Structure 1
Amino acid sequence: MTRRPSWPLDPVRLRPARRLLDVFVSSALLLLLAPLLVLLALLVGATSGRPVLFRQTRIGAGGREFALYKFRSMRKDCTGPGVTGGSDARVTRIGRVLRRLSLDELPQLWNVLRGDMTLVGPRPEVPDLARRYPAERQWIFRHRPGLTGPCQLRSRQYAAQLDGRPDPEEYYLRVLVPQRVLRDAEFLRHATLRTVLTYLVRTIVYVLRAARPRGGGS
């Protein structure tokens, strides 16, 4: 029988240069994007009601829990699996736009500034799913989760694979988690400032491409 790792795990400390980058970028973006954040809050409130922010417990560095913040993109008081497919009926109309453009993630800049998260790293996981990861994959929770990263830039692809699955959580844990951890491991082996900056640029491109009008043609 495979031995489960003990929780909390031994956290991997973030290098000082990366922490300085986190503080500088997150604080600068929170100031620059303040009008957009207010506008999005008003938009969510007007179309979906309160609460505007979605607060959820996630796993941080060393397996310790923290409160993650997002703009609410799902209907209130809805239940369902802990993973979200690309065509999940729980997502509101405005929520689909926010998710497609990654605007729902902007409040996580506050998590980065606080030190719960870093700019680039593994995707933050919910405790129930984290503890159901295969034992050999749980080492990923030693690391600080990221606002963006190799898996976050494939979030729409992963979500689409969950559509139509009779048990989305089982598929996620059995098929997608090994793929995600492998990609995160590759990044973490080369998590230099240059690599982090490269992922930040790739994230900007990812969002801009999502903002382009769909369909069309001559």
Structure 2
Amino acid sequence: MIRLLDIQLSLFGLVVSVPLLLVLWIIGYFDTGSPLFRQERVGRRQRPFTLVKFRTMRPDTASVASHLADASAVTPFGRFLRRTKLDELPQLWNVLRGEMSLVGPRPCLFNQQELIEERQRRGVFEARPGITGLAQVNEIDMSTPQLLAETDSEMLSGLTIVNYFRYIALTVIGKGKGDRVRGK
């Protein structure tokens, strides 16, 4: 049932947001010269997939978790995208392809070994990673791997259709600030 909702909502979201995606892509092009950001992430059952987002940091920024990146790497337009969460819109493509869900644990990088071990121990990798979830709306990010894995596990064990829509609604209205950036 959740997969069917993911397909319907991501397809609807992509179709409706095409004008906005185009505008953000153009502004992003002038901001960084490379508006889309692609990065290999850990997916369901620890399989790799390529996550797509709007770029919020300079293209030469090291490929590390956001909480390890320096705040000076975030561009002015990138700050706006992060604050409004519009940088996440291209991930609707990942959802449509079945690599992600709208609601699930945020996908981590393969070099985040502590988080991977904590999630593996709790069975979190049995679910598709998501754009938002319980941790995100409670401002728990990857800087606290054990707490994040515990929260992901709690969310997955209690994920109902009501909670699915609740996490999406809370994200849309601005609950949670997204991943921290060092120095902010």
Q: Structures share a fold, TM > 0.5? A: yes
Name which of 28, 36, 45 aligns with 1:44: 28
- Match of residue 59 from structure 1: 42
1:138-177 equivalent positions in 2, closer than 5 A: 138=120, 139-155=123-139, 158=141, 172=143, 176-177=144-145
Q: Secondary structure at the match of 2:59?
A: coil
Deviation at 1:85, TM superposition (A): 5.8
Deviation at 1:86, TM superposition (A): 8.8
- Match of residue 184 from structure 1: 152
1:120-131 equivalent positions in 2, closer than 5 A: 120-129=103-112, 131=113
Stretches of structure 1 lacking an aligned partner (at least 5 in a row): 1-16, 160-171, 211-218
CA distance in 2, matches of 1:135, 1:42: 39
For residues 81 and 126 of structure 1, do their structure 2 counterparts lie closer, same or farther at Cα, with a shift above 3 Å needed?
closer
Name which of 112, 115, 134 aligns with 1:133: 115
1:3-152 equivalent positions in 2, closer than 5 A: 17-49=1-33, 51-79=34-62, 81-84=64-67, 88-129=71-112, 131-133=113-115, 135-138=117-120, 139-152=123-136
Q: Secondary structure at the match of 2:71?
A: coil
CA distance in 1, matches of 2:138, 2:68: 13
How many positions carry a matched residue from both structures?
Answer: 175
Code of the aligned partner of 1:133? L
For residues 61 and 77 of structure 1, do their structure 2 counterparts lie closer, same or farther at Cα, with a shift above 3 Å needed?
same
The CA deviation string for residues 172-196 of structure 1, in whole angstroms up to 9 with x for no partner, is 3xxx011111211111111111110
- Match of residue 167 from structure 1: none
Q: CA RMSD in A?
A: 2.2
CA distance in 1, matches of 2:48, 2:94: 12
- Structure 1 runs, 4 residues or longer, greater than 6 Å off: none
Code of the aligned partner of 1:76? P
Stretches of structure 2 lacking an aligned partner (at least 5 in a row): 178-184
CA distance in 1, matches of 2:10, 2:63: 32
Q: Secondary structure at the match of 2:111?
A: helix
Deviation at 1:32, TM superposition (A): 0.5
Identity value in percent: 39
Question: If the length of structure 1 is used for normalisation, what is the TM-score?
Answer: 0.73
The CA deviation string for residues 148-184 of structure 1, in whole angstroms up to 9 with x for no partner, is 11122244x648xxxxxxxxxxxx3xxx011111211
